[in-house]
Amino acid sequence: MKISVLSLFPEYFAPLLTTSILKRAKEKELFEFEVIDFRPFTKEKHGHVDDTPYGGGAGMVLMCQPILDALKTIRTENSTVILLTPQGITFKHEIAKELSLKEHLIFICGHYEGFDERIRDYVDMQMSLGDFVLTGGESACMVMCDAILRLIPGVIKQDSSDDDSFANGLLEYPQYTRPDVYDGKRVPDVLLSGHHANIKKWRHEMALKNTYYHRPDLLEGRELSKEEAMYLETLKQESDN
């Protein structure tokens, strides 16, 4: 996979590729990553990439010319172009999985007050990190790239990602490590039993429990097994009592 980012601030992305898991994955050449400053593409005499909005209003708006000219130099028939905007669909784990299978992703990071509306006509997807506004699209882009790149085979162990929150539509089950007892709080006995079937059953029930109490919306429309339905009914009765 290759990721290209169009941004006015290429230095913003250095920490993403120079620390921890993604650093090692890039050194193994499991993916390509480039950040392209679109300022050099402007045709404005003084290097401007933004201007005042037609009709008046506060702030400056990014012009379409430098961004779209930069896009033309890297876009291919295998590229998926993503515009980061509050008007886009909310980024989720399912989208990260879908995008991790693409050959080439291009992210366009907005800044200032916004960007020329005509840019939307040249993209394949519009995405948002959530219902809030950032000073620019760079921080949102870094979060999305982290979520996508970790799903590429070889970046992390497959069984690690399979148990992640949202990977199977549920929040993750609780995790524990040594010591067995800390400040009077003990690790659940089932995790010390060595009985793999019981551990698997407990983890699934705890994932259901975490989801039921913290993100019940994730259970809406979920096709439940008989065992899941019975366990959730038990949780409901406990809550009612």
Domains of the chain (ranges; CATH) run 2-156 (3.40.1280.10), 181-240 (1.10.1270.20)
* Residue pair 40/142 in contact by the 8 Å Cβ criterion: no
Q: Which two tokens stand for residue 130?
A: 């959530």
Q: Which residue has the higher pLDDT, 82 or 166?
A: 82
Q: Looking at residue 113, what is its pLDDT?
A: 77
Q: Which of 69, 164, 205, 228 is catalytic?
A: 164
Q: Which letter does DSSP use for residue 39 in this model?
A: G
3 state DSSP class of 192: helix
Q: Looking at residue 168, what is its pLDDT?
A: 85
Is 180 catalytic? The answer is no
Amino acid present at 88: G
Beta-bridged to residue 125, according to DSSP, are 82
Task: Quickly state the pLDDT bin for 159 (edges 50, 70, 90).
Answer: confident
Is 15 catalytic? The answer is no
Answer whether residue 160 shows pLDDT above 80: no
When pLDDT is averaged across residues 20-27 and rounded to a whole number, the result is: 94
| Cα–Cα distance measured from residue 142 to residue 84, given in angstroms and rounded to the nearest whole number | 11
Answer whether residue 165 shows pLDDT above 70: no
Q: Which residue has the higher pLDDT, 229 or 158?
A: 229
Q: Which of 39, 150, 203, 222 is catalytic?
A: 150
Q: Which of 37, 69, 98, 113 is catalytic?
A: 113
Is 113 catalytic? The answer is yes
Is 203 catalytic? The answer is no
Q: Which of 53, 86, 120, 146 is catalytic?
A: 86
In this structure, how many other beta carbons lie within 10 angstroms of the beta carbon of residue 37?
A: 16
- 190-223: per-residue pLDDT in tens? 999 999 999 999 999 999 999 999 999 999 999 9
What is the rounded average pLDDT for all residues in the chain?
94
Q: Which residue has the higher pLDDT, 18 or 113?
A: 18
Q: Looking at residue 71, what is its pLDDT?
A: 98
Answer whether residue 138 shows pLDDT above 80: yes
- 44-95: per-residue pLDDT in tens? 989 999 999 999 988 899 999 999 999 999 999 999 999 999 999 999 999 9
